Structure 1
Amino acid sequence: MRLIKPRASDVLTTYLKQCNEPPWTSYFVKYSDVKDDQWGKSHFNWTLDSGNNYHILRAGCYPYIKYHCSKRPYQDLSLDDNFFRIMKVLNLGIPLLFYGLAAIALIKHVEIVQMNDGQKVPIYFLYPENKGSFH
């Protein structure tokens, strides 16, 4: 058991770098493994030190947080972010809860994100991504 959980944003950054900044990726991380420092964000930009920007679609789907990351130029995503947030509130998060519960049965692959402080954070996939297809 970890005393200090890594921030979800640090896991995101570390994983993108660990995969050599792929054009896209999509994964789940357990709420219990991270500190959710991106709570409330649904669609936003995430820029790495290299200058590469990702559009992040993020959803809390208990017991996971789902990330879909696409390498794309920076653009104002505030309208999209607000729309997705409103939709989540209007449907009381019920579809996302079911998505998370279904993911428990559907997840078939796990990878480890090696954090800078030595911690290892498992992330989950519905199927293994073909890393060779990224480039």
Structure 2
Amino acid sequence: MIKFVNLFKSKIKVGLPTSSEVLTHYLRQCNEPPWTSYFIKYSSIRDDQWGKSHFNWQVGKSNYHILRTGCYPYIKYHCTKRKAQDLTIEDYFFRVIKVINLGIPCLAYGLAAIYLIRHEEIVNTHKGDIIIYFLYPEEKGSLY
């Protein structure tokens, strides 16, 4: 029993920031941009948003619609500044699509991203610096 407990404890990512902390810090660091899209490695964070696909996220005075998907070895975030609304149905819909597809497109996207990522930035959190990844450098504040 002790071995099982120790094995379980070793899987907990103690000392790493949560995915929500990195999301909040990055949006603040960029002065609440109109949109952004990035990847973060699963191994860099504790995933406290597991199972969420489309949801609202409040940062400062801004609300963001977050589209999020796991694409091993990354988690992909697409953030758009928009008015808050009920996203329950969309969130459920995206989760169902992922299950129906057995996650295969998400895995393919993650594996392709390994070769397509061309830019990285550092996000400063209370638990240290975290690297996030982009397919290309973004123009901060750009509407597109």
TM-score by length of 1: 0.94
Report Cα offsets for 1:100-120 as digits up to 9, x if no partner: 000000000000001134x00
User: How high is the sequence identity, in percent, across the aligned residues?
Assistant: 66
Aligned-residue CA RMSD (Å): 1.2
Match of 2:101 in 1: 91
Structure 2 match to 1:39: 50
1:133 aligns with 2:137: no
Tell me the equivalent position of 2:86.
76
Given candidates 63, 66, 90, the residue that maps to 2:73 is 63
Which residue of 1 is the match for residue 26 of structure 2? 15
Q: Hey, what's the Cα distance between the residues in 1 that align with 2:139 and 2:44?
A: 25
Q: Distance in 1 between matches of 2:117 and 2:108?
A: 14
- Cα offset, 1:131, TM superposition: 1.3
In 2, Cα distance between equivalents of 1:114 and 1:71: 21
Q: Residue 41 of structure 1: SS of its match in structure 2?
A: coil
Residue by residue over 1:13-53, the C-alpha shift from the partner in whole angstroms, topping out at 9 and shown as x without a partner, is: 000000000000000000000000000000000012x2310
Per the alignment, residue 133 of structure 2 pairs with 124
With normalisation by structure 2, the TM-score equals 0.88
Q: Does residue 54 of the first structure (1) align with residue 64 of the second (2)?
A: yes
Q: Unpaired runs of 5+ in structure 2?
A: 1-12
Aligned CA distance change for structure 1 residues 86 and 132 (closer, same or farther; 3 Å): closer
Amino acid at match of 1:121: I
Cα distance between partner residues in 1 of 2:141 and 2:50:
32
Q: Which runs of 5+ in 1 are unaligned?
A: none
1:95-106 equivalences in 2 (<5 Å) = 95-106=105-116
Please identify the structure whose Cα radius of gyration is greater.
Answer: 2
The alpha carbon displacement at 1:3 in A equals: 5.0
Deviation >3 Å, runs of 4+ = none
Tell whether the 8 Å contact from 2:119 to 2:134 is kept in structure 1 after alignment. yes
Aligned length: 131
Distance 1:133 1:91 in 2: 34
